[in-house]
Amino acid sequence: MKKNKLLISILLIIIIKALFLLTKHIQEDAFITWRVAQNILDYGVYGFNGDERISSSTTHLYVFISVLFKLIFSENFIYPLLIFNSIIYTWGTKILSDILTSNDNVKILFIFFANFLPPAIKISILGMEFGLIFFLYVLFLKYAVLLRRNWAFLLLPILISWTRLDAAMFLLINFFYDLFRYRKPNYFFILSGILSVITILGFNYFYFHEIINNTIIAKRLAYANEADNFMSKFIGMLNNTNYYSMLKIPLNILKINIFLIITIFLSIFSFYKISKNLNREQKYILSIIYTYAWVRMVVFGFANSWFDWYYWIPQIFMFIPIILYFIQDLNKTKIITYIVIFFIPLVAYQTVHSIATGHGEWYYNRKVGLYLDSIEPDKSKTVFLEPAGYIPYFSKLKAIDYVGLVDKRVLEEFKIKGNNVAESVIKKYQPDYILEDNKPMFKGDISIEESSKYKLIKEFHILQNAKSDNFILDKIYKLKPSGRDYYLYKRIN
């Protein structure tokens, strides 16, 4: 009965969370991964544009899983894959609950609350690889760190590294914890680290002729800010809501975000309080994930890595002590307090965010891609745009993106020209279409000689999309009109 109760609860949590799929909130970058997967099926090449090899996705393992889902479900693969992501994340929270508590009622509450944090909802429904990486992290904590299985020390770090290269930080922290605790190196862990480096960097080198993923190099070149000094980076890290808080709201007090203060204080307090009631192994596991959360957020925050998804798993790990503090003794007052103060506001926030963002991206960016697909039957034509997610995926055209994530030629221009590469890319590679968010093109910074070769053929305005006959939806869309105006230019032959 206990097992059935827990299993039924998990199934219900997955079903309730699946309601967020109705928001159509899918991350732009997921479509880059899926375009790479489609390219493998169409051309037999790990790339983005035809037979050109390029590591335009940050996650190799998830690309191959996407290929498998595309083979099984064809064009209808997206929702089966999103459900898979949701299931493995939920199962990961179940495994973590098994480690941190033995009480089934506490487990159910833990799994429930851990699945309805904003980053947990994003991990489950946005189509990116973080449900997979969370699941692999927790498997490693259980079978390698806790149960000391040699196969887990050997296999799981390789899978983790192939999912995301930056997950090496998690493995490194675990290695030092293991070395400090047992006073001797784990040779299976060391061998796995060596194999991880050899296999993934070897694959990059021999297949793509590069060592580090193209996406990492492109972002470093495109988003570099030489003016940043130590203090500006530190203040930026403290001010950015994404790093330490559940909410992404621009609300600052004395230049420090109030949600950041609350989250950090409550997290440290909860970690201290619940550690007194955990056994030795539970304290050890909680210390590992808590250390990882802090190190990851400080290192990436200070490096000015501002993409939301870098912080989803650390945010969850940092919030776990807070959840445990409110539920570990099954005190009804504390549980109700958590529901009122955290659960309801956070779920409400994410619901509004997902409805608005999903509408803006699925019913706006996707519509732009479908329009291009409808007017251009020749899929060898190119479009110069940013970002390279929804629109290239649904237009099926070849893409040149402003950052160089999917076209290495843009990276070469960054190395030569610095940040202003638009004109040189247009002049050299003559894209058939340019999708810009300015009129005139690139704010008039493109020479008349080059800009005169293009004519404006279509305008897309986000405020026209942010409307609904439903009063509530209309308010939500206008509260957060996700997207921007686009102007589509076509090259004059």
Asked whether the beta carbons of 351 and 369 are under 8 A apart, the reply is no
Share of the chain above pLDDT 90, in %: 64
**Residue 96 shares a structural domain with residue 214:** yes
Classify burial at 187, counting beta carbons within 10 Å of its beta carbon; exposed 0-12, middle 13-18, buried 19 or more.
exposed
pLDDT band at 253 (very low <50, low <70, confident <90, very high): very low
**Residue 158 shares a structural domain with residue 14:** yes
Buried b (16+ CB within 10 A) or exposed e, 69-87: bbeeeeeebbeebbbebbb
Residue 21 pLDDT > 80: yes
CA–CA distance, 459 with 368 (Å, rounded to integer): 10
Q: How many residues does the chain have?
A: 493
Q: Is residue 214 part of a domain?
A: yes
CA–CA distance, 253 with 475 (Å, rounded to integer): 27
232 or 277, greater pLDDT: 277
CA–CA distance, 178 with 278 (Å, rounded to integer): 19
Q: What's the distance, Cα to Cα, between the start and end of the chain in Å?
A: 72
In 3D space, the residue among 440, 354, 478 whose CA is nearest the CA of residue 22 turns out to be: 354
* Conformational region of residue 396, where left means phi above 0, alpha means psi within -120 to 50, and beta covers everything else: left
Domain termination residue (choose one: 312, 330, 348): 330
CA–CA distance, 293 with 131 (Å, rounded to integer): 16
Residue 277 vs residues 282, 283, 326, 402: alpha-carbon distances, Å: 9, 9, 13, 52
**Residue 293 shares a structural domain with residue 211:** yes
DSSP bridge pairs for 487: 436, 459
Phi, psi (5° rounding) for residue 231? -70, -40
Q: Is residue 295 part of a domain?
A: yes
**Residue 187 shares a structural domain with residue 273:** yes
Q: Is residue 341 part of a domain?
A: no
CA–CA distance, 412 with 425 (Å, rounded to integer): 10
Please, what is the average pLDDT of the chain? 89
User: Stretch 59-87: mean pLDDT, rounded?
Assistant: 96
Asked whether the beta carbons of 416 and 426 are under 8 A apart, the reply is no
**Residue 322 shares a structural domain with residue 396:** no
Residue 468 pLDDT > 90: no
Q: Among 101-110, 161-170, 219-228, 386-395, name the one with the lowest average pLDDT.
A: 219-228
Q: Which domain holds residue 429?
A: 359-491
Phi, psi (5° rounding) for residue 256? -125, 130
387 cis-preceded (ω within 30 degrees of 0): yes
Domain termination residue (choose one: 282, 311, 330): 330
User: Stretch 467-478: mean pLDDT, rounded?
Assistant: 83
| pTM, 2 dp | 0.93
pLDDT at 444: 77
CA–CA distance, 92 with 136 (Å, rounded to integer): 8
Q: Is residue 63 part of a domain?
A: yes
**Residue 94 shares a structural domain with residue 215:** yes
What the block records as the tokens of 122 is: 């994003």
Q: 3-class DSSP state for residue 148?
A: coil
For 93-135, the pLDDT digits (tens) are 999 999 999 999 999 999 999 999 999 999 999 999 999 999 9
For 426-463, the pLDDT digits (tens) are 988 999 999 998 888 888 788 888 888 999 999 998 88
**Residue 299 shares a structural domain with residue 375:** no
440 cis-preceded (ω within 30 degrees of 0): yes
Cβ-based neighbour number of residue 227 at 10 Å: 6
**Residue 398 shares a structural domain with residue 252:** no
DSSP state of 485: -
Q: Is residue 335 part of a domain?
A: no
Domain termination residue (choose one: 311, 330, 349): 330
In 3D space, the residue among 208, 297, 289, 201 whose CA is nearest the CA of residue 245 turns out to be: 297
Phi, psi (5° rounding) for residue 379? -80, 5
pLDDT at 443: 82
pLDDT at 375: 95
Residue keyed to tokens 């800009």: 451
Q: Is residue 451 part of a domain?
A: yes
**Residue 278 shares a structural domain with residue 363:** no
For 378-390, the pLDDT digits (tens) are 999 999 998 888 9
**Residue 277 shares a structural domain with residue 371:** no
DSSP bridge pairs for 47: 53
Residue keyed to tokens 């059935």: 4
Q: Is residue 343 part of a domain?
A: no
**Residue 276 shares a structural domain with residue 367:** no
Q: How many folded domains does the chain comprise?
A: 2
Asked whether the beta carbons of 135 and 36 are under 8 A apart, the reply is no
DSSP state of 400: E
**Whole-number CA gyration radius for the chain:** 24
**Residue 106 shares a structural domain with residue 161:** yes
